[in-house]
Amino acid sequence: MTLILNNDDVQSVLTMEITMKALEQAYTELTRQEAVCRPRIDIQIPTKDPSKIYQWGTMEGGSMSGYFAIRMKSDVIYEQEYQGAITQEKYCVRPGRFCGLILLIDIQNGEPLALINDGYLQHMRVGADSGIGVKYIAREDAEVVGMIGSGGMARSHVESFLLARKIKKIQVYSPTKAHREEYAKEIGEKYGLEVVPVSTPRDAYKGAHIIAGCTDSSVPIVIGKWLEEGTHVTCVGGKPDEDTLKRIDVSLRLGNAPHPWGLPEFGLADEYITYAAKPNENADFQMKRTGKRGHGMIAADRAVLLEELLTGKKKGRTSDQQITYSERGNIQGAQFFAVAGKVYELAKAKGLGRDIPTDWLLQDIRD
C-alpha cells in the first residue's frame, strides 16, 4: 500500500528537533558521497495573462540509507505591491490554494511508499536550515532575534533558533500591523518569550544578535547598514542587500549539490536552474530574471562549507564582533528524502494517513 499524508498528519509527527537531526545526517551522507541530489529545476511558461507565469518546480535526491524523494510544485506566480513592499504571490487553481507534493520511494525495490503534502514539511526544513546555521556560527550568547516577517517561516524559525541558542527576545516587523501583533501574541504565549512588534524594519535590528529575513519579498530585505557588530544573518525570502554582502566576515554554506557523473563542468552553485518558454517575452518578475542566473555562494571569498567547518579545514566565527551569514546552498533535494523518510516512518507507526493500493501506480507495460 502507498500512504497518502496531508499536512495535519505531518504536523502531528514532525518536530523541529527531528527535522534538524535528519538534515544534518543527510548533509553528512552527501559529504561521504552516500547520498546525491541536484539543484531545484523550474520550468516557466507564459500564461494568457501577461502579468502571470506558470511555474513547475522540482528537486530530488536519495541516499544509500534507504529513500529517494522528489518534491514537485505547480504554481501560477505573479507580483504585487503592498504598503511599499513588492512581494511574489502564487497559487494553484485559485488564490489561497497550493499544490506541493513529495513522492517518497524505497530505493531497494523502487516502491512508491508515500505521497505527502509539502506545506508543513517545507516550513520545517527551511527553518531547520537556519537553525543549523545559528548552531554552528552565531555568537554563543545570542539571545535577541530581529524577525523580518510574520508568516509560517517566521514561526518555524523560532523553533529552530530555540534549539540552537537560549533565545529570550524577538523583535518582529511585518508591514501589516495586525499580522505582527498577532505573531507577537502567539509566539510570546507559546514559548514564554518576550516578543515585541515593531513599527519599522529598522527597529528590528536594534540590539539583535540574529537577523532572520522570512518574507516573500521580491526585493532586498536585509539592510547591511543597520546590522550591529556580531550579528548573525539568515535570509530565506527576499535577499540581503549589497551593504550586507560587503559586511559579512564569514559565510557558512551547508553544502553544494554534486556535479553530474563525469561532467564536472556542470557542477553549479546556483540555487535553482530555470528553463523557459519564450524566455525573452516572460514577465520581468520571473524567479530568475531574464538573462541572469540564480545566486550561487553568498560572499564566496569568505565562505566556509559545513563539511570544512566540521573537519577543521576552515574556521567559522572567530570573534563575537564578526558579522556572519548562513545559507543552505543548493542541496534542497537531499532535504526531502531525509525529512519525508522520517515522517513516513513515524506516521506509519501511528497509523496515520490513508492507504491506496500501490498497484494503482504500477503497470505491466515496460516503459
Q: Which domains are delineated in the chain?
A: 2-122+332-361 (3.30.1780.10), 138-256+295-329 (3.40.50.720)
Cβ distance 230 to 320 under 8 Å? yes
Cβ distance 30 to 64 under 8 Å? no
Q: By three-state DSSP, how is residue 175 classified?
A: coil
CA dihedral 57, 110, 267, 41 (to 10 degrees): -10
Which stretches does DSSP call E strand in 6-107? 35-37, 40-46, 53-63, 67-82, 85-91, 99-106
Q: By three-state DSSP, how is residue 59 classified?
A: strand
Mind listing the pLDDT tens digit of every residue in the chain (367 residues)? 999 999 999 999 999 999 999 999 999 999 999 999 999 999 999 999 988 999 999 999 999 999 999 999 999 999 887 666 677 789 999 999 999 999 999 999 999 999 999 999 999 999 999 999 999 999 999 999 999 999 999 999 999 999 999 999 999 999 899 999 999 999 999 999 999 999 999 999 999 999 999 987 767 789 999 999 999 999 987 788 899 999 999 999 999 999 999 999 888 888 888 898 987 765 555 444 444 555 678 888 899 999 999 999 999 999 999 999 999 999 999 999 999 999 999 999 999 999 999 999 999 999 8
Cβ distance 56 to 80 under 8 Å? no
CA-based nearest residue to 344, from 57, 113, 91: 113
Quote the cell numbers at residue 367.
516503459
Cα–Cα dist 131/162, whole Å: 8
Cα–Cα dist 316/314, whole Å: 7
Helices (H) and strands (E) in the chain, counts: 9, 20
User: Can you give the pLDDT at residue 65?
Assistant: 95
Cα–Cα dist 275/279, whole Å: 8
239-249: per-residue pLDDT in tens? 888 999 999 99
**CB hemisphere CA count around 99 (13 angstroms):** 14
If one counts every other C-beta atom within 10 angstroms of the C-beta of residue 137, the result is 20
Quote the cell numbers at residue 264.
564536472
Cα–Cα dist 114/3, whole Å: 4
Quote the cell numbers at residue 72.
514537485
CA-based nearest residue to 27, from 253, 232, 209: 253
pTM of the model: 0.90
294-312: per-residue pLDDT in tens? 567 888 889 999 999 999 9
